Amino acid sequence: MIGEVPDTLRRNPAIIEMVHVPLSYIGVGMASEIAKLDGAMFISKDGEVQDATVIIVNGDDKDTGKLSDALPTSPKIGGSRRETAYRTSKDCPHAAVVCVSQNGTVELFINGQSFPITEAISGVSR
């Protein structure tokens, strides 16, 4: 997730602790390895890594603490990563949410709108 993350976005604590550093210090290779872990990676609009491996609890999930059935307004196709990316983009209007599906497909969500970036990334193992 890139951009401003509101304090109201509920999230479970990160599994690994990140030192707030510019993304350029970590490098693309390390960032992609961290992104393979379960959970979200938060990057400020200035390019600083804020957090990683964070589990996001979205709108309808706040009461139960678990994923609910698909919302009528949510995408009908896709798994939990895509659903979470969609919901988070609705909860965080000043951020872009990048979703990398298990098959390597990359999709950008802004305010609930989907922008496919590319087909599956070559070399992604299942």
CB 85 within 8 A of CB 97: yes
Give every residue of the chain whose pLDDT is below 50, as ranges.
62-72, 74-75, 124-126
In a domain, 113, yes or no: yes
* DSSP character at residue 82: H
Domain housing 88? 2-118
Q: How many domains does the chain have?
A: 1
pTM for the whole structure: 0.67
pLDDT of residue 110: 94
pLDDT of residue 80: 81
pLDDT of residue 111: 93
Secondary structure of residue 66 in the 3-state scheme: coil
CB 68 within 8 A of CB 60: yes
CATH code at 78?
Answer: 3.40.1700.10
Placement of tokens 């659903």 in the chain: 83
